[in-house]
């Protein structure tokens, strides 16, 4: 127990009936990350907003300890309360919760928004956990409660279809309570282990059970003399065959004395409108709100006189059908189905009542019945089907939104939508808006069938043309063009799967743009550099496609000055030799002989 002795156990925030501007909440509120694996950490903050005059605070955060682990070194005080000066901060780690709080050591306070504390959890397996701000308390300098609202958090690191569901019932024999988790189940496997947490009595030395394979467990609460009605919190955690875990939120049970309380908690009739002589299916759920195992009858009635909702006993009722419920334990609910034949019912609205018999020693019978109305009519109107879609000219691979919100039912409500998208894809949903993506172009017959609460249907259809974008492609020649050299660009390889190319737009990357219906075009560059040439093609449906390529423009070859110097030197050196050879060619042979001698 925290040393903050001025904090009594008042569940402020969870039980208040007003809305406050001050909030205490988990941040982030939802951590859903399937990549989070055992051994990794996850951190949350306990934040506060719009508070005035805060001097001290205390919080109990409950979590699933099979999934998440923490200790006192992983809990740190936030900076918010420290704005008011020196603080005293306390952390206590219990079986399935963290209890923490802080107070200012001087007569001061803080206003505004900030972080009260941060908690780091180490992930131990896969599953889900509510981060339940089970208890919160804020105090001002005069120890007055500061009203506030509370927002819990949530963590999950596994697909929800793989998470087991925890449920339990109980039966109290004075202070000896039997808990039964046999109603727990796993959607894709089996529940293997069960772990229980008990609370609510400071003298109860046993607060938790080990993980066990038996769904039934017995717990004895400390007795008082004489026995009296007492409450305690109970929490069940389940683990399936894949070591995936989940839990039920904290539930409050009653023990010490026998409590008998049966409630009709749900009633619906299907369909909501029928023609006289047709049958109504009636769904009734009854729940044991007490702590004893009960057996009783449930009867469905129809009104004979006009229903007086202010005083139901003033209405005359005719019993239609009765069913027996046996062995209903505390927290357990049972669903029953009845059939009401409307032969002889007059046209108009009728009321049915589902009522559970009063069990022995039951003191509160106000919740033993439920009422529901339905219509008997001479004619049933089918629903009207209508839908639109956007965009109006969808392309292959583009998300298409189909909207049937303007479908309606004159004498009931639309309950379902069956879509046939014309490409071998069919979807039946309860939401009027769906999305679809077509993988190929063409014209598709999209049909919508709507169903109403009278089990009638109607259909409509539209032709939806899905367009294919053109494909832009081009070549250029020469592949290494020079400055001032004419370059031929050729887009003849461009194509359109569902039409033809209507035009070509060339952006040569040097500020020049040419639009032409011809696939070929020439262009000359004045300077050497890299140019990005972009081709945009437009097809016969007005759709476009773009392709860009980088063209390297080189400078024209230039003669080096060294070559000119070398040529000049060569001329100077060779000229005398050439002159001599030319002169020698003109001397007669005899002269040459005389010269030789």
Residue 17 binned pLDDT confidence (cut-offs 50, 70, 90): very low
Q: What is the mean pLDDT of residues 505-525?
A: 95
Lowest mean pLDDT among 7-21, 270-284, 297-311: 7-21
The number of folded domains in the chain is: 6
My answer on whether 308 and 370 are in the same domain is yes
Pairing of strands 153-156, 30-32: parallel
Whether 340 and 442 share a structural domain: no
Instruction: Classify residue 557: in a domain, yes or no.
Output: no
The pLDDT, as a whole number, for residue 573 is: 66
State the Cα–Cα distance between residues 181 and 170, nearest whole angstrom: 9
Residue 95 has pLDDT above 90, yes or no: no
Q: Is the residue at 18 inside a domain?
A: no
Same domain, 274 and 366: yes
The closest of 532, 552, 379, 400 to 462, measured between CA atoms, is 400
* Residue 8, domain member (yes or no): no
Structural domain of 426: 388-466
Instruction: Give the pLDDT mean for 35-58.
Output: 97
pLDDT band at 15 (very low <50, low <70, confident <90, very high): very low
List b or e across 221-249, with b for residues whose CB sees 16 or more CB atoms inside 10 angstroms: beeeeeeeebebbbbbbbbbebebbbbbe
Query: Nearest-CA neighbor of 274 among 373, 419, 384, 151?
Result: 373
> What CATH number does the domain containing 419 carry?
2.60.40.10
Rounding to the nearest 10 degrees, give the CA dihedral for residues 103, 105, 110, 116: -30
- pLDDT(561) > 60: no
Q: In what order do the strands lie in the sheet with 348-356?
A: 273-275, 369-377, 348-356, 294-303, 317-328
The three-state secondary structure class of 84 is helix
* Rounded distance between C-alpha atoms, residue 29 and residue 212, angstroms: 32
| Domain-terminating residue out of 358, 377, 396 | 377
Residues with Cβ within 8 Å of residue 409, at least 6 apart in sequence: 381, 382, 383, 384, 450, 452, 453, 454
The answer to whether residues 271 and 317 belong to one domain is yes
Question: 439 and 393 in one domain?
Answer: yes
Question: With 50 as the cut, is the pLDDT of residue 260 above it?
Answer: yes
What gap in Å lies between CA 460 and CA 338, rounded to an integer?
Answer: 35
What phi and psi values does residue 214 have, to the nearest 5 degrees? -85, 125
Neighbours of 62 (CB within 10 A): 26
Segment 194-218 mean pLDDT: 83
Residues 177-187, mean pLDDT to the nearest whole number: 96
Q: What are phi and psi of 530, to 5 degrees?
A: -75, 130
Q: Say which residue the tokens 């476009």 belong to.
A: 544
185 and 212 both lie in a single domain: yes
The predicted structure's pLDDT at residue 571:
66
Query: pLDDT-based confidence at 344, cuts 50/70/90?
Result: confident
Give yes or no: residues 126 and 215 share one domain. Answer: no
pLDDT band at 570 (very low <50, low <70, confident <90, very high): low
Among 103-107, 112-116, 554-558, the least confident range:
554-558
Average pLDDT over residues 576-584: 60
Lowest mean pLDDT among 368-382, 478-492, 509-523: 368-382
From 255, 276, 306, the end of a domain falls on 255
How many whole angstroms separate alpha carbon 96 and alpha carbon 61? 9
Residues 371 and 300 in one domain: yes
Q: Is 360 or 202 the better-scoring residue by pLDDT?
A: 360
Is 86 within the bounds of a domain?
yes
Q: What is the DSSP secondary structure assignment for residue 597, as one 8-state letter?
A: -
Residues 118, 46 contacting (CB under 8 angstroms): yes
| CATH code for the domain in which residue 87 is found | 2.60.40.680
**Does 372 score more than 70 pLDDT?**
yes
Task: Output the pLDDT for position 577.
Answer: 61
Average pLDDT in the 202-226 region?
A: 85
Last residue of a domain, one of 432, 466, 500: 466
Confirm whether 526 is domain-assigned: yes
Say yes or no to pLDDT of 181 above 50: yes
Which of the two residues, 309 and 26, has the higher pLDDT score?
A: 26
Residue 292 has which token pair? Answer: 């004893």
Give me the pLDDT at residue 576, please. Answer: 65
Judge whether 484 lies within some domain: yes
Beta strand extents in 21-125 (DSSP E only): 23-27, 30-32, 41-54, 56-62, 68-69, 75-77, 87-93, 97-104, 110-123
Which of 40-44, 112-116, 468-472, 554-558 is predicted least confidently? Answer: 554-558
Nearest Cα to Cα of residue 51 among 148, 151, 152 = 148
Q: Are 466 and 441 in contact (CB under 8 A)?
A: yes
CB distance 181 to 166 below 8 Å: yes
Q: What is the pLDDT of residues 375-384, one digit of tens each?
A: 888 777 889 9
CA distances from 68 to 43, 116, 154 (A): 11, 21, 12
Higher pLDDT, 380 or 188: 188
> Does a structural domain hold residue 560?
no
Tell me what the pLDDT averaged over the chain comes to.
89
Percent of the chain with pLDDT over 90: 76
pLDDT > 70 fraction of the chain, expressed in percent and rounded: 89
d(CA 220, CA 207) in angstroms, rounded, equals: 11
* pLDDT tier for residue 20 given thresholds of 50, 70 and 90: low
Q: 83 lies in a domain?
A: yes
What pLDDT was estimated at residue 202?
53
In Å, the largest CA–CA distance within the chain is: 165
* Cα angle: 253, vertex 259, 263; to 5 degrees: 85
What average pLDDT does the segment 197-205 reach? Answer: 66
Are 233 and 174 found together in one domain? yes
Question: 267 and 332: one domain?
Answer: yes
Residues 153 and 165 both lie in one domain:
no
User: Does residue 324 share a domain with residue 276?
Assistant: yes
């Amino acid at each position: 127990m925290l040393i903050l002795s001025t904090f009594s156990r008042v569940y402020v925030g969870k039980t208040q009936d007003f809305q406050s501007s001050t909030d205490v909440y988990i941040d982030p509120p939802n951590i859903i990350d399937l990549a989070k694996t055992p051994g990794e950490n996850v951190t949350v903050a306990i934040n506060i907003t719009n508070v005035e005059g805060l001097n001290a605070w205390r919080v109990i955060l409950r979590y699933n300890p099979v999934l998440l682990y923490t200790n006192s070194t992983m809990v740190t005080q936030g900076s918010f309360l420290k704005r008011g000066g020196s603080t005293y901060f306390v952390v206590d780690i219990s079986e399935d919760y963290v209890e923490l709080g802080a107070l200012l050591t001087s007569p001061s306070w803080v206003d505004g928004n900030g972080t009260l504390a941060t908690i780091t959890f180490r992930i131990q397996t896969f599953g889900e956990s509510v981060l339940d701000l089970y208890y919160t308390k804020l105090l001002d300098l005069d120890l007055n409660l500061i009203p506030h609202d509370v927002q819990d958090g949530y963590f999950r690191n596994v697909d929800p279809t793989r998470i087991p569901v925890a449920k339990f019932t109980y039966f109290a024999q004075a202070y000896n309570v039997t808990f039964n988790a046999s109603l727990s189940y796993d959607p894709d496997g089996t529940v293997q282990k069960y772990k229980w947490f008990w609370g609510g009595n400071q003298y109860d030395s046993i607060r938790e059970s080990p993980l066990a394979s038996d769904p039934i467990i017995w717990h004895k609460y400390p007795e008082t003399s004489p026995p009296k009605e007492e409450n305690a919190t109970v929490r069940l955690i389940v683990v399936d065959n894949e070591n995936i875990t989940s839990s039920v939120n904290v539930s409050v049970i009653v023990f010490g004395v026998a409590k008998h309380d049966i409630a009709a908690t749900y009633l619906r009739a299907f369909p909501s409108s029928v023609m006289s002589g047709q049958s109504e299916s009636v769904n009734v759920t009854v729940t044991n709100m007490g702590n004893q195992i009960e057996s009783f009858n449930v009867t469905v009635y129809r009104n004979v006189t006009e229903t007086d909702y202010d005083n139901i006993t003033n209405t005359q009722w005719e019993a239609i059908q009765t069913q027996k419920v046996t062995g209903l334990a505390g927290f357990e609910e049972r669903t029953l189905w009845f059939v009401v034949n409307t032969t002889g019912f007059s046209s108009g609205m009728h009321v049915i009542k589902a009522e559970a018999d009063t069990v022995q020693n039951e003191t509160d019978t106000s919740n033993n019945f439920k009422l529901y109305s339905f219509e008997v009519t001479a004619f049933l109107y089918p629903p009207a089907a209508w839908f639109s879609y956007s965009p109006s000219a969808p392309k292959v691979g583009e998300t298409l939104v189909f909207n049937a919100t303007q479908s309606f039912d004159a004498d009931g409500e639309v309950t379902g939508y069956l879509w046939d998208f014309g490409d071998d894809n069919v979807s039946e949903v309860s939401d009027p808006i769906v999305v679809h993506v077509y993988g190929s172009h063409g014209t598709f017959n999209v049909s919508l069938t709507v169903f109403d609460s009278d089990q009638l249907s109607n259909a409509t259809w539209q032709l939806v043309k899905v367009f294919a974008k053109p494909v832009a492609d081009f070549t250029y020649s020469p592949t290494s063009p020079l400055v001032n050299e004419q370059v031929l660009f050729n887009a003849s390889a461009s194509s359109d799967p569902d039409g033809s190319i209507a035009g070509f737009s060339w952006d040569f990357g040097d500020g020049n743009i040419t639009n032409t219906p011809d696939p070929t075009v020439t262009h000359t560059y004045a300077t050497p550099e890299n140019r990005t040439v972009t081709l945009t093609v437009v097809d016969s449906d007005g759709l476009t496609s773009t392709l860009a390529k980088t063209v390297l423009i080189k400078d024209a070859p230039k003669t080096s000055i060294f070559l000119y110097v070398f040529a000049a030197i060569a001329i100077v050196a060779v000229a005398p030799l050439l002159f001599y050879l030319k002169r020698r060619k003109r001397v007669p042979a005899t002269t040459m002989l005389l010269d030789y001698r």
